[in-house]
Structure 1
Amino acid sequence: MAEITRKRTGELLRGVFQILSGEPDGLPARDVLKKLESIVPPTTFEKSDYPNRPGVRRFEKIVRFATVSCVKAGWLEKSKGRWILTETGKTAFQTIPDPEKFRREASRLYHAWAETNQEIDRSDEENPEESRTSVSFENANEQAWTEIEEHISKMDPYDFQNKVIPGLLKGMGYHVAYTAPPGADGGVDIVAYPDPLGTKEPTIKISVRRRVQKADVKDLREFLSRIHPGEVGIFISVAGFTSDAERECRSDQRKIRLIDLDKLFDLWVEHYSKIPESSRKLLSIKPVWFLELGNTE
């Protein structure tokens, strides 16, 4: 459409990439869109609502749909409402400064992907006004993930540590032998075994952190000091881990697994049917199906 030229779309995309280039772990899509307004201010047209959808502004939908080609080009990744720039995307941002050429190259790679994967392009890539279906799944996925994060952050810490996590372990087939009492901070919150009597190796020790800050090297080393030969350590940190902590874990000879909220939730979904009802009701989920007219993820 006349109001949204390739050049303008390229300006919006480069604004998104500028924001993400300084965020190695990516950002929630809602935060990217908010920051984008100050870098690439919306036009009068982009500020307006869709005629048949009062309260739904064009700007956010236009940007979301424009990023579809970047995902298929391998420049951008989307996971649970978070946008992350790939190394290929960083290179494209640095080497193609012209907005229109940037947009054209993303489109070229998108169509190459569609041809290779024998995808039928049912949407007009240059017409976001007609492409609401293409971003419906992304919007729903982002909203669902936001609600999950908020629910877990408001959950009673004791319920999370001593009911949700043990429930997941039981659903995975492990036997929980110990859970730390409220207020205890001995570094090991849960002990589990592969068998009911605890006679088989390995002993599994779990530390659970639900802090806002990422777990760092100091946190990891404190936990490692409690892991003995033949034992397995699982460090759960809802906020994730610093890059230094991840490197420390990879270099350590002991069997240590780092689990952030993304991985934790994936495990919860995978083993949900086997998790005890008493734990499931604390983090109850339900699948929702979408008609895939155009895959945006």
Structure 2
Amino acid sequence: MDKETKQQSLSKQTASKSIFAAFEILKAAGGQMPGRDVINKVRNKINLTDWEKQIYEKTGYVRWESIFHFYTIDCIKAGYLRKNKGVWYLTDEGDKAISLGPIKLLDSATKVYRQWAAENKQNKTDSSKELTPPAIEIEQNPSQEQKANLDIVEEQAISGIKEFIKAKNPYEFQDLVAALLRAMKYHTPFISPKGKDGGLDIVAYSDPLGATAPRLKVQVKHKPESSVPVDDIRSLTGLLNKDGDIGLFVTSGYFTSESERSARESHRHLRLIDIDTFISLWQEFYPSLTDEDKNKLPLQSIYFLGSNE
């Protein structure tokens, strides 16, 4: 252990190596990855001490994970990292910060967080921490610790929903998509039965007869472990041959960057929905689902004390 590392508190040592590992993992993955996957890869990448593996009694979670989540808040405030619906994104600034090394990367993020906290007067203890940075422990910032714990809970919830969807067969996932469209006030007169479907899995109308636009032509792919290639997007585009047609491609996985670019540049109205967007929409329109459709992917709302940060 070098001199610089020895001067850090145990918590900062844990944070430095885990945050740095997470940034490297995100960079290697193209800049984004589900948060739960990042955590699992960090766990396998770094050497953890017995102290770091213990359950942190204040949170009930493994200590290193609690510390790791706590300091990701600093990285978000510094503009290095973004989180949205369980997916983590490495920004261009975060990519550049990797060159600082584990300790300086975290120090730079923490400095920005303290400046932000002091300016917003959210936590009076933050402004005094500048005097004694080596002594920082996560217990000293309840607001930031609370946010970190909520992030853990949210990521676990999203991960559980994804595993539930993953266990569905292709036709059950197709039914989920149709249920979501109905909650969004669309009519679904055609849902593909087993067998050849002519390239479309669902046709949805904004009125019972399909007389008014928009009319949705939907392709559904249940491939949670893979990304949809651009050829599939082009195939759907070719089926949008009437005025008022909108193409909707829904997957339980993700789309390649080429697929996303093809959809953006298409002369037809084409919308891509990956697993994260699907879950977000399911949560948003859940109250509008029928009881029967809710049972296809049931959710439970739990409210926690929030934060003004």
Q: Following TM superposition, by how much is the alpha carbon of 1:135 offset from its aligned partner in structure 2, in angstroms?
A: 2.4
1:187 aligns with 2:195: no
3-state SS, counterpart of residue 227 of structure 2: coil
Residues 112 and 190 of structure 1: is their aligned pair in 2 closer, same or farther, counting only changes over 3 Å?
same
How many matched pairs? Answer: 291
Q: Following TM superposition, by how much is the alpha carbon of 1:144 offset from its aligned partner in structure 2, in angstroms?
A: 0.8
Larger deviation: 218-227 or 44-53?
Answer: 44-53
- Matched letter for residue 42 of structure 1: L
1:77 aligns with 2:82: yes
Alignment partner, residue 115 of structure 2 = 112
Residues 63 and 121 of structure 1: is their aligned pair in 2 closer, same or farther, counting only changes over 3 Å?
farther
Alignment partner, residue 178 of structure 2 = 166
Alignment partner, residue 11 of structure 1 = 17
3-state SS, counterpart of residue 196 of structure 1: coil
1:64 aligns with 2:77: no
- Matched letter for residue 236 of structure 1: V
Distance 1:121 1:84 in 2: 30
Distance 1:73 1:127 in 2: 19
Residues 13 and 257 of structure 1: is their aligned pair in 2 closer, same or farther, counting only changes over 3 Å?
same
Alignment partner, residue 42 of structure 1 = 48
Alignment partner, residue 301 of structure 2 = 287
Q: TM-score, normalised by structure 2?
A: 0.84
How big is each residue's C-alpha offset from its partner over 1:76-100, in whole Å with a ceiling of 9 and x where there is no partner?
A: 1123333221111112223x23x33
Distance 1:199 1:270 in 2: 27
Q: Following TM superposition, by how much is the alpha carbon of 1:74 offset from its aligned partner in structure 2, in angstroms?
A: 1.4
Paired residues of 2:59 and 2:149 also in contact (CA < 8 A): no
How big is each residue's C-alpha offset from its partner over 1:109-144, in whole Å with a ceiling of 9 and x where there is no partner?
A: 112332444433678892135665342211211111
Distance 1:109 1:226 in 2: 50
1:248 aligns with 2:258: no
How big is each residue's C-alpha offset from its partner over 1:197-217, in whole Å with a ceiling of 9 and x where there is no partner?
A: 211123210111111321111
- Matched letter for residue 103 of structure 2: E
Paired residues of 2:205 and 2:213 also in contact (CA < 8 A): yes
CA RMSD of aligned residues (A): 2.7
Q: Which one of 251, 268, 284 corresponds to residue 237 of structure 1?
A: 251
Distance 2:167 2:226 in 1: 16
How big is each residue's C-alpha offset from its partner over 1:154-211, in whole Å with a ceiling of 9 and x where there is no partner?
A: 12432321x3222211211112221111233421111111111211123210111111
Alignment partner, residue 157 of structure 1 = 170
Residues 171 and 9 of structure 1: is their aligned pair in 2 closer, same or farther, counting only changes over 3 Å?
closer
- Matched letter for residue 24 of structure 1: G
Residues 21 and 184 of structure 1: is their aligned pair in 2 closer, same or farther, counting only changes over 3 Å?
same
The gaps in structure 1 that reach 5 residues or longer are none
Alignment partner, residue 274 of structure 1 = 288
| Greater helix share, structure number | 2
- Matched letter for residue 196 of structure 2: A
Give the share of equivalent positions with the same residue, in percent: 32
Paired residues of 1:77 and 1:84 also in contact (CA < 8 A): yes
How big is each residue's C-alpha offset from its partner over 1:194-252, in whole Å with a ceiling of 9 and x where there is no partner?
A: 11121112321011111132111111112112111421100111101000111111111
Distance 2:59 2:118 in 1: 33
Distance 2:56 2:163 in 1: 30
3-state SS, counterpart of residue 271 of structure 1: helix
- Matched letter for residue 280 of structure 2: D
Residues 51 and 190 of structure 1: is their aligned pair in 2 closer, same or farther, counting only changes over 3 Å?
closer
Distance 2:75 2:148 in 1: 14
